């Protein structure tokens, strides 16, 4: 939702907390809006000054109702000249306070000509309860920044400085900004990197605002609590999506006649099905965190194994992750698959099944019987190797970690390597697979990739149990 607050000069009566996002050009004001709203398409972001030329507004919801309205404003560019102009309009001997000086400026001809952009900014701030002054913390503290703060302070509204890009800013710059802001009387500030925000970055921002705006503390507390609940729900949903993927992959079986060509075809079909299923999980995770394929172009996996670093079924990709190669990991078509996985149950009546096979009673056999008859007739069965299941979990967990630490203003592609290429060891590296995964091995119809897939209460319970197990692993990292 967008609107322009430029026409009214008086604050409209509203239950909404209204915040103006202000600052010098190209400091990340629109980036802050994108990250706070979780909307990567809000406004325009570019590495050039003056990208935002008009005021745009968006509302934040808590419990389904609007509680905060944010206004993205153009960048301040000529505050030094504007302060000189204010002195001409209202000489110091007139003893006008800050808001009166600003009011005189807004009623002057130059507010519609030379200083039109600055007028938009201060007019917006005057209609709001407070301002978020966005600073590129990588920049040195310059006179223009101090002039901007003097100009904004003259509006008489609370200001909360936001040190943007703090993760990549030198420590000395951060300290210089804190000291300079303190000398201007701005002792409450917040570090909030719009590209790589801390998990609690938003809640810290709203906590600081609550100190400045105690009359809106309840509103900010409601927004803070809603954000926490949303974050927890996204995380739970993400782990459930991963659990669904692993159950589908573990339960999947490919059956083929006992000849080399059929085995090759079945193996390729198995690989293709799992690669596509992983890609679907990646797409669902991106969507759940409100990102898109353009944020993670590397997830488009090869179907012929050209890029082994991204291919689930290349032995080197598994070894590089420190995963023990399983018995099915041999050269050629069988890489990543385990052969002859359905010998269990042959002692339950092989003679009877042999007779059934001889008598042509295939259609009368139950599901287990059909698999056993296939074994008797020499058919082979392929399943996904344990090491591949482990790699699937680790890659999806790495993606969730990246998404939870990514701001919606980030433009660089998601890179999983910092999380994957560490000495970090999880139970999925070293321990036996969870019992529910082992159970899925014996339940082919649990896999949504199986044409015979059917709803199952036990499968739903297995997905829930595996998601809970993944949460325990996550908590231990």
Tell me: the pLDDT tens digits for 425-468?
A: 899 988 999 999 999 998 999 999 999 888 899 999 999 999 99
Q: Are strands 254-256 and 130-136 parallel, antiparallel or unpaired?
A: unpaired
Give me 242's structure tokens.
């991963």
Identify the pLDDT of residue 423.
76
213/420: higher pLDDT? 213
Identify the pLDDT of residue 455.
86
Average pLDDT score over residue span 271-275: 89
Cα separation, 76 vs 399, whole angstroms: 38
Identify the pLDDT of residue 246.
98
Hey, what CATH topology would domain 17-212 get?
A: Rossmann fold (3.40.50)
Q: What percent of the chain has pLDDT over 70?
A: 78
Contacts of 433 (CB under 8 A, 6+ apart): 250, 386, 389, 390
Mean model confidence pLDDT for the chain: 83
Average the pLDDT over each of 115-129, 183-197, 294-308 and give the range with the smallest value.
294-308
Cα separation, 318 vs 460, whole angstroms: 29
Average pLDDT score over residue span 37-61: 74
Average pLDDT score over residue span 223-233: 96
Q: What percent of the chain has pLDDT over 90?
A: 60
Residue 182: how many other CB atoms lie within 10 Å: 11
Q: Are strands 380-384 and 337-339 parallel, antiparallel or unpaired?
A: antiparallel
Q: Are strands 159-164 and 337-339 parallel, antiparallel or unpaired?
A: unpaired
Cα separation, 255 vs 301, whole angstroms: 25
Does residue 402 carry a pLDDT above 50? yes
Going from N- to C-terminal start, the domains of the chain cover 17-212, 234-475
Cα separation, 148 vs 78, whole angstroms: 9
Average pLDDT score over residue span 218-225: 94
Average pLDDT score over residue span 257-263: 81
Q: How many CA atoms lie within 13 A of 88 on its CB side?
A: 9
| E strand or H helix that includes residue 371 | helix 367-376
Identify the pLDDT of residue 69.
96
Main-chain dihedrals φ then ψ at residue 31, nearest 5 degrees: -60, -40
Contacts of 452 (CB under 8 A, 6+ apart): 367, 444, 445
377/404: higher pLDDT? 404
Does residue 88 carry a pLDDT above 70? yes
Identify the pLDDT of residue 339.
60
- Given phi > 0 = left and psi -120 to 50 = alpha, else beta, which region is 182? alpha
Does residue 143 carry a pLDDT above 50? yes
Average pLDDT score over residue span 381-391: 88
Average the pLDDT over each of 166-180, 205-219, 320-334, 337-351 and give the range with the smallest value.
337-351
| E strand or H helix that includes residue 160 | strand 159-164
3-class secondary structure, 183: helix
Give me 186's structure tokens.
């701005």
Cα separation, 291 vs 351, whole angstroms: 57
Cα separation, 10 vs 95, whole angstroms: 23
pLDDT band for position 264 (50/70/90)? Answer: confident
Contacts of 115 (CB under 8 A, 6+ apart): 78, 81, 82, 85, 105
Identify the pLDDT of residue 356.
38
Contacts of 25 (CB under 8 A, 6+ apart): 49, 50, 51, 74, 75, 76, 77
- pLDDT, tens digit, 9 for 90 and up, residues 151-169: 999 999 999 999 999 999 9
């Amino acid at each position: 939702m967008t609107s322009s607050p430029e026409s009214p000069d008086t604050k409209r009566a509203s239950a909404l907390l209204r915040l103006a996002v202000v600052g010098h050009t190209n400091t990340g004001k629109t980036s802050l809006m994108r990250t706070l709203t979780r909307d990567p398409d809000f406004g325009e972001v570019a590495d050039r000054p003056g990208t935002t030329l008009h005021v745009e507004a968006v509302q934040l919801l808590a419990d389904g109702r609007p509680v905060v309205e944010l206004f993205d404003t153009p960048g301040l560019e000529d505050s030094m000249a504007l302060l000189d102009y204010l002195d001409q309009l209202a000489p110091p001997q007139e003893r006008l306070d800050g808001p009166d000086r600003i009011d005189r400026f807004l009623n002057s001809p130059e507010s519609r000509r030379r200083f039109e952009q600055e007028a938009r900014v201060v007019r917006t701030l005057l209609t709001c309860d407070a301002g978020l002054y966005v600073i590129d913390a990588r920049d040195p503290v310059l006179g223009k920044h101090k002039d901007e703060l003097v100009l904004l302070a003259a509006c008489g509204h609370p200001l909360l400085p936001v040190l943007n890009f703090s993760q990549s800013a030198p420590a000395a710059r951060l300290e210089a900004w804190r000291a300079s802001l303190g000398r201007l009387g701005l002792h409450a500030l917040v570090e909030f990197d719009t590209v790589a925000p801390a998990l609690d970055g938003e809640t810290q921002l709203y906590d600081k605002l609550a100190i400045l705006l105690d009359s809106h503390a309840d509103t900010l507390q409601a927004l803070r609590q809603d954000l926490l609940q949303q974050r927890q729900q996204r995380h739970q949903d993400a782990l459930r999506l991963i659990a669904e993927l692993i159950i589908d992959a573990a339960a999947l079986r490919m059956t083929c006649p006992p000849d080399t060509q059929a085995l090759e075809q079945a193996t390729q079909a198995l690989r293709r099905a799992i690669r596509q299923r992983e890609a679907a999980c990646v797409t669902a995770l991106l969507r759940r965190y409100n990102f898109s394929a353009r944020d993670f172009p590397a997830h488009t996996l090869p179907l012929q194994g050209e890029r082994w670093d991204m291919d689930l079924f290349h032995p080197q990709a598994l070894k590089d992750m420190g995963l023990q190669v399983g018995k099915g990991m041999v050269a050629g078509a069988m890489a990543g698959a385990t052969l002859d996985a359905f010998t269990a149950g042959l002692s339950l009546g092989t003679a009877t099944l042999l007779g059934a096979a001889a008598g042509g009673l295939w259609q009368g056999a139950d599901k287990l019987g059909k698999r056993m008859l296939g074994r008797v007739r020499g058919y082979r069965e392929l399943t996904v190797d344990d090491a591949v299941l482990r790699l699937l979990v680790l890659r999806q967990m790495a993606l969730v970690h990246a998404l939870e630490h990514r701001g919606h203003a980030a433009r660089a592609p998601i890179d999983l390597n910092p999380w994957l290429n560490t000495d970090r060891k999880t139970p999925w590296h070293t321990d036996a697979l969870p019992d529910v995964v082992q159970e899925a091995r014996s339940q082919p119809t649990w896999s949504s990739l199986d044409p015979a897939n059917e709803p199952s209460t036990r499968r739903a319970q297995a997905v829930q149990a595996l998601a809970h197990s993944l949460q325990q692993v996550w908590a231990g990292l």
